[in-house]
């Protein structure tokens, strides 16, 4: 049987959401460039960075030719009338961004942020999270932290897959990233080139490793209804067994070439959640992998893995399109509507439809 169905399309044009980008590090630049490429959905209002070496520079110099004329501002302007949104892509801790979030809410913006701790803010800052939730409600705006990791690969994605489970005993997520293929700052962030001793000192001080792993663990458990008592976190160096040279760094054998960062979430002696993040130069078999134990057992793999910066920017835009019109408050990503690529809303019907009506 072969059949052609002809379709009628009804379009509800999406409102163009006015947006600002606050923080022009690698993620902020990626987000700004991505939204400039989708002018039908987002209206670029301003890019903001208070760092003296960035504020005042021409937008096009930093963001490319798709940017409008004008300069990077040292502070966000008040939001245009109606709903507007700020992408906040500055730092990692809830505490470090709280004042900026309050300011942006006061200016009339929703806030979608790559701040890692904001992906599950009640973990480390429950009182501050409650205060930001109140501030967001009072301003009738949404605040949410997301990205690929934390945000999607180790939290929303396994949660979505878990919707298929009749019973669920255990969640295991493995992310393996070949850091040699990523930007310089990431290679340094995973300790490439350090001695083991330097690495261990920074690890103890919480100044190296992935930010957000314990957040993902808590996010998963909370959304699954699992009353975790304890998360055991370990951060170990991956040591180069031979000299590794990338575009950005050179690591002799015996020095650190990356991280093996794990979080195990326990109820009693049972580890119900296991998150395993391996990011090192030359990692083989890069992938994102979810295993759900239960009925029916489920495994899901993304060969090659989600690309960190590309997908973080995409996740931020996707969240932006979904907070517009959503109930005000400080949310976690899994509380938002179903993830999708932002776009106009269509309705499709068969031209020969309405059979028998």
Binding positions for a second copy, 249-308, rule CB under 8 A: 295-296, 298-304, 306-307
For residues 96-135, which are near a second copy according to CB under 8 A? 120, 122-128
| CA torsion, ordered 241, 182, 98, 36, to nearest 10 deg | 180
To a second copy, the closest distance from the beta carbon of 304 in angstroms equals: 7
Sole binder of a second copy in the list 99, 166, 268, 284 (CB under 8 A) = 166
DSSP H or E run through 137: helix 126-138
Instruction: Burial-class residue 197 by CB neighbours within 10 Å (0-12, 13-18, 19+).
Output: exposed
Sole binder of a second copy in the list 19, 105, 148, 251 (CB under 8 A) = 148
- Is residue 349 at the binding interface for a second copy, with CB under 8 A as the rule? yes
- Is residue 239 at the binding interface for a second copy, with CB under 8 A as the rule? no
Cβ distance 330 to 125 under 8 Å? no
Sole binder of a second copy in the list 65, 69, 81, 225 (CB under 8 A) = 225
Sequence-separated (6 or more) residues with CB below 8 Å from residue 138: none
For residues 302-341, which are near a second copy according to CB under 8 A? 302-304, 306-307, 310-311, 313-315, 318, 333-341
> DSSP letters along 94-114, please?
HHHHHHHHHHHHHTTEEEEE-
* Residue number with CB closer to a second copy (76 or 214): 214
Sole binder of a second copy in the list 82, 229, 247, 269 (CB under 8 A) = 229
To a second copy, the closest distance from the beta carbon of 35 in angstroms equals: 10
* Residue number with CB closer to a second copy (79 or 317): 317
Instruction: Burial-class residue 158 by CB neighbours within 10 Å (0-12, 13-18, 19+).
Output: buried
CA 305 – CA 32 distance, rounded (Å)? 24
Which of 173, 151, 154, 179 has its CA nearest to residue 286?
A: 179
- Is residue 173 at the binding interface for a second copy, with CB under 8 A as the rule? no
Cβ distance 47 to 20 under 8 Å? yes
* Residue number with CB closer to a second copy (76 or 277): 277
CA 273 – CA 171 distance, rounded (Å)? 5
To a second copy, the closest distance from the beta carbon of 204 in angstroms equals: 6
* Residue number with CB closer to a second copy (79 or 203): 203
Binding region for a second copy (CB under 8 A) out of 65-73, 83-91, 153-161, 246-254: 153-161
Sole binder of a second copy in the list 154, 235, 251, 272 (CB under 8 A) = 235
Cβ distance 187 to 234 under 8 Å? no
Rg (CA), the chain: 22
For residues 10-29, which are near a second copy according to CB under 8 A? 11
* Residue number with CB closer to a second copy (51 or 350): 350
């Amino acid at each position: 049987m072969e059949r052609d169905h002809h379709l009628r399309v009804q379009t509800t044009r999406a409102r163009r959401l006015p947006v600002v980008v606050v923080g022009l590090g690698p993620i902020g630049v990626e987000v700004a460039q991505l939204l400039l490429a989708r002018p039908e959905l987002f209206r670029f209002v301003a890019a903001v960075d208070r760092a003296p070496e960035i504020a005042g520079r021409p937008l096009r110099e930093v963001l490319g030719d798709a940017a409008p004329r004008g300069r990077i501002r040292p502070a966000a302007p008040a939001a245009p009338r109606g709903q507007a949104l700020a992408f906040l892509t500055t730092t990692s801790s809830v505490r470090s961004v709280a004042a900026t979030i309050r300011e942006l809410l006061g200016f009339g913006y929703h806030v979608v942020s790559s701040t890692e701790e904001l992906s599950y803010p009640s973990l480390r800052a429950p009182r501050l999270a409650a205060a930001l939730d109140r501030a967001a409600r009072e301003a009738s705006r949404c605040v949410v932290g997301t990205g690929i990791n934390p945000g999607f690969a180790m939290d929303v994605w396994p949660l979505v897959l878990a919707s298929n489970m009749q019973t669920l005993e255990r969640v295991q997520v493995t992310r393996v990233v070949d850091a040699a293929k990523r930007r310089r700052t990431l290679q340094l962030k995973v300790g490439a080139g350090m001695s083991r001793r330097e690495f261990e000192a920074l690890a103890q001080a919480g100044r190296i490793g992935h930010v957000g792993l314990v957040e993902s663990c808590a996010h998963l458990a909370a959304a699954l209804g699992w009353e975790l008592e304890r998360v055991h976190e370990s951060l170990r160096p991956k040591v180069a067994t031979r000299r590794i040279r990338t575009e950005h760094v050179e690591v002799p054998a015996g020095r650190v070439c990356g991280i093996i960062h794990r979080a195990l979430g326990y109820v009693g002696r049972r580890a119900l959640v296991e998150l395993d993040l391996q990011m090192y130069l030359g990692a083989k078999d890069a992938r994102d992998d979810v295993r759900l134990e239960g009925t029916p057992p489920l495994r899901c793999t993304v060969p090659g893995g989600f690309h960190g910066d590309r997908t973080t920017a995409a996740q931020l835009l996707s969240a932006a399109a979904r907070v517009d019109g959503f109930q005000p408050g400080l949310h976690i990503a899994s509380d938002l509507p179903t993830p999708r690529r932002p776009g106009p809303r269509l309705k499709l019907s068969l031209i020969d439809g309405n059979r028998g009506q």
